[in-house]
Amino acid sequence: MKNLVWVGTGRRLFVAFASLIALYALTAGVAIHGLVQIHAALRQTSHRVQGLQLTLELASAVRDQYAHIAHTIIIGDDSHLQYYKGAGDKAVALAREMRGFAVRPDEQQWVARIEQALTDIDASFQNNILPGVLAGQTKAVQNEHRQVLSSAAIAQDNTSYLANRFSESVLELQAVVPEIQRRALTWAILFLLIAPALAAVAGIVIGRSVARPIARLKAGAERIGAGDLDTRIEIESLDEFGALARQFNAMAASVKMHQHQRLLNEKMASIGRLAAGVAHEINNPLGVILGYVRVLGKKAEAGLAEDLKVIEAETLRCKEIVDGLLDLSRPINPGVNLVDLRELADDVVASLADSEQAEGISINVEGESSVPGDALKLRQIVFNLVKNAVEAVGSEGHVEARIVDHEDQAELMISDSGPGLQDEVREHLFEPFFTTKQGGTGLGLAVSRAIARAHGGDLTAETPERGSRLVLLLPHPSRRGTL
């Protein structure tokens, strides 16, 4: 049952909904990934913008620092010293802060050059320019001024590198965000287009896989309701509907079998009532006819004697039919004495072996078993079965009576090498008055099955690859009450 769930409608539903969920999860994942990328891009943009602002402030501080050095040289005193220190400290602090925004190796090199240039500028000013200005050493101050100007140019150039890099990064990130947004929007649109289409396809597939089997089941139920018990629902799938169809077909076959059995039982009951009512009345005239025929046969001439023998034979056939009807109508007491089936079968074979019908036919008996029952009634069954098998094989052939002793029952199989049983014959084989033999009464197998069932067993027919086989099942003592 567990396998049915995963190969049937449950699996199709699971696959359909799983596909929709997977598509939704993929789209949601792309959207979330896009949002994460946008957030990261915006954060990087903000970081680079801050770095750009810091770079511009650093460039301004370097220019201010140099301006105060120039004013000191021009004025010739230390009146701008405090302004110089303020601008220098600011430039150094900004350069130190810039380290946190220089994330690439070349950017870190540029910051290091700026810091080194600021260090060189301050050293030249503090150690050479300021003392030279105060001492009036104009030539020495001019030489140091050229050094400061070179260091300031280095600081400005590297500051420009950083500013350009930060500007480029901001532009790149600003271009990335719309691309991420476009990709997320594309996936969202695809989801809006594909999801309904996928849902529609899944709905159609599931609808067809559910609606069609249900329609077939409904039509089959209607046909069975109308009395057509030969109806079979053609659903070969391995899902729930296939299992239901197979159960439905089995139910129809079972209903047909039980209906057939009920009709047969009613027919047998009617025959029993008929037999009980008229059999005795018919037997009396038949007995009188037989008596007179036999008396006349002793006195009649040759030609008339032959005619009287025909009358006697037909009268005996009528009596056989009446006796069969009486067998069907009488309640059967199975008895409790153990009956040796092997001994019974050997006795029947011995009685038939010398008959004209058995000439040229080999009859074998195999196996042993004993069951409780009425020996005469069980012998009647075995005699009918072996006699029918002998008649079926013709002048040459083989008949086998095989006894198998099972744990709960004994099985007697009468097999022959004859032409076998056709399906339509086997279907009516145990019905009263059904016969395929010329001159047969059609009561032998019906009576035999009634006797078998009265003993708690059954009599069935099989069609092997060659010939036919009738199987008599009889329970052992411990099982009779449960059958």
HEC secondary structure over the chain: CHHHHHHCHHHHHHHHHHHHHHHHHHHHHHHHHHHHHHHHHHHHHHHHHHHHHHHHHHHHHHHHHHHHHHHHHHHCCCCCHHHHHHHHHHHHHHHHHHCCCCCCHHHHHHHHHHHHHHHHHHHHHHHHHHHHHHHCCHHHHHHHHHHHHHHHHHHHHHHHHHHHHHHHHHHHHHHHHHHHHHHHHHHHHHHHHHHHHHHHHHHHHHHHHHHHHHHHHHHHHHHHHCCCCCCCCCCCCCCHHHHHHHHHHHHHHHHHHHHHHHHHHHHHHHHHHHHHHHHHHHHHHHHHHHHHHHHHHHHCCHHHHHHHHHHHHHHHHHHHHHHHHHHHHCCCCCCCCEEEHHHHHHHHHHHHHCCCCCCCEEEEEECCCEEECCHHHHHHHHHHHHHHHHHHHCCCEEEEEEEEECCCEEEEEEEECCCCCCHHHHHCCCCCCCCCCCCCCCCHHHHHHHHHHHCCCEEEEECCCCCEEEEEEEECHHHHCCC
336 and 325: one domain?
A: no
CATH code of residue 191: 1.20.120.1730
186 and 302: one domain?
A: no
Residues 10-49: tens digit of each pLDDT: 666 677 677 777 777 777 777 787 777 777 777 887 888 8
366 and 395: one domain?
A: yes
Question: CA nearest 360: which of 386, 391, 388, 395?
Answer: 395
For residue 275, the model assigns a pLDDT of: 62
* Chosen domain end from 202, 221, 243: 202
**Local mean pLDDT, 10-residue blocks, the chain (483 residues):** 50 69 74 75 81 88 89 88 90 90 89 92 90 86 88 90 86 78 77 74 69 74 76 68 74 75 69 64 75 76 75 75 66 79 90 77 89 88 88 83 91 88 77 69 79 88 84 78 45
* Chosen domain end from 306, 330, 354: 330
For residue 267, the model assigns a pLDDT of: 67
268 and 122: one domain?
A: no
363 and 472: one domain?
A: yes
311 and 367: one domain?
A: no
322 and 340: one domain?
A: no
**241 inside domain:** no
Question: CA nearest 69: which of 81, 58, 57, 59?
Answer: 81
CATH code of residue 447: 3.30.565.10
For residue 371, the model assigns a pLDDT of: 92
276 and 324: one domain?
A: yes
For residue 262, the model assigns a pLDDT of: 76
**209 inside domain:** no
Contact 206, 12 (CB under 8 A): yes
276 and 151: one domain?
A: no
Contact 40, 63 (CB under 8 A): no
For helices 9-75 and 81-98, give the axis angle rounded to 10 degrees. Answer: 160
**19 inside domain:** yes
For residue 5, the model assigns a pLDDT of: 43
**216 inside domain:** no
For residue 170, the model assigns a pLDDT of: 82
**247 inside domain:** no
For the chain, the domain total comes to 3
Question: CA nearest 338: which of 475, 481, 482, 483?
Answer: 475
**428 inside domain:** yes
Please, what is the end-to-end C-alpha distance for the chain in angstroms? 31
* Chosen domain end from 309, 330, 351: 330
Q: Which domain, by its residues, includes 366?
A: 332-480
For residue 474, the model assigns a pLDDT of: 92
**155 inside domain:** yes
Instruction: Tell me how far apart the alpha carbons of residues 89 and 95 are, in angstroms, rounded to a whole number.
Output: 10
344 and 396: one domain?
A: yes
153 and 283: one domain?
A: no
For residue 327, the model assigns a pLDDT of: 64
- What is the pTM for the complete model shown? 0.46
CATH code of residue 315: 1.10.287
**225 inside domain:** no
190 and 310: one domain?
A: no
For residue 372, the model assigns a pLDDT of: 92
Contact 329, 271 (CB under 8 A): yes
Residues 444-477: tens digit of each pLDDT: 788 888 888 888 899 998 878 788 888 999 998 7
